Structure 1
Amino acid sequence: MCTCCLDSKKPSFIVALWTFILCSEFIVRTPVQAVMVIGSSLPIFAAPGDDVILPCHLKPMFDVQGLTVEWSKPDLKPDPSDRLSRVEYVHLYRDRKEVPDMKMASYFRRTELFMDAMKHGNISLKILNVSEEDNGRYRCFIPKLRSRVKAAVVELVVDPDFAKTSTTEMPLHFQTPDPQDTTPANAGRSRVSVVAVVITFMSVLVVVAFSACFSRCLHQKLNKLSEGKTTQSQV
């Protein structure tokens, strides 16, 4: 770039350049939400004695065999009078195996994950021989997942009047995000839209700045050329 451009447009050009650099750094550092934990938007119904599957999976497919997977009942809270009490898990998968020591006693030997399907992002929970005491909300959670949507909630309804089946399986539905656990699914798309607008604006700003510099340089060269011709004609 010519010196006259830098001298004449130095303040505005520097501002534009620094703005572009800062925005580029923001774009690089801003994570775009990709993998999401998806549960069921509809309750799962079963009769006492049924084996049920609480659907939960990752979209797009993502291998979770090396991650921790927690299934819990979020409505159960520790006893405030007992400082050593803790919320136990319905099912806990850690270090590529189940951790039974931290399970609720009522779910001992009654829950399992589909181990072979976890490499495809399937973290659905199977509960054997359900009873009315199993009614409630269940939360599947992957604490170390690199996503802002790390959890989903599935509701189980055990109804004695429900037709008894050997295994109750419901199709996987998109889970309505829990305000305490998740971020709306369109958050990533909104962020991408904002980034696209910023990139377009900065591109236009840079083009305008360079055009102004080039125009000023060209104008100065034409003036000098014109002055030179005038001097020659006078001589």
Structure 2
Amino acid sequence: MASSEEEVALLGVSGSPFACRVKIALKLKGVEYKYLEENLANKSDLLLKYNPVHKKVPVFVHNGKSISESLIIVEYIDETWNQNPILPSHPYQRALARFWSKFIDDKVVGAAWKAVFTVDEKERETNTEEAMKALQFLENEIKDKKFFGGEEIGLVDIAAVFIAFWIPIVQEIGDLDLLTSQKFPKLYNWSQELVNHPAVKESLPPRDPIFAYFKVRYENLSASK
């Protein structure tokens, strides 16, 4: 637990999968923190002060020192608070966890997003194919494990919360079949385990407002075609 002398704060947006990663890590560690909701249309002075480079969330503040980028924040949390390790202890396994976490950001997040929220049909098809190929790699990697981290949630699981919670929302809005029990049975089962894990369930935003927000965004995009 964070001691009373420690200042621990998270600047985020409730619908952000990246801020959600940090919330999950803090929940797993049992670290108490102050959450500060940001309005990215009217960024606070605090956000501009603590993340002047990217001016984005999440930003993690620990005793006056700020850290940006969700995966870097999660690793920092893991190294600062020893209980309930998030990264494996073996160097090779740690390297693999970092590889797959970066793979998710590089190959899944952007492609899945563009598969729904892109006007050009050909570009949508290209991004759908790219997302599907990436999900197949993850299907092969999860094998028959409960989580990517084994029996317990690890870095890759936290990184992949976008797949487990956000992809089902956007694929429903965009009428796509990215993550289904038929196409990716192992990954689908993993996603159900993850979103129902207590630390994750308590860290996820309410589904309905997120769905409504993205639906309006999708309809506005479709109307502009």
Shorter-chain TM-score: which interval?
A: under 0.3
Determine which structure has the larger helix proportion and give its number: 2
Greater RCO, 1 or 2 (C-alpha within 8 Å, sep 6+): 1
Q: Could you tell me the TM-score, scaled by structure 1's length?
A: 0.22
TM-score (ref. length: structure 2): 0.23
Which is greater in Rg? 1
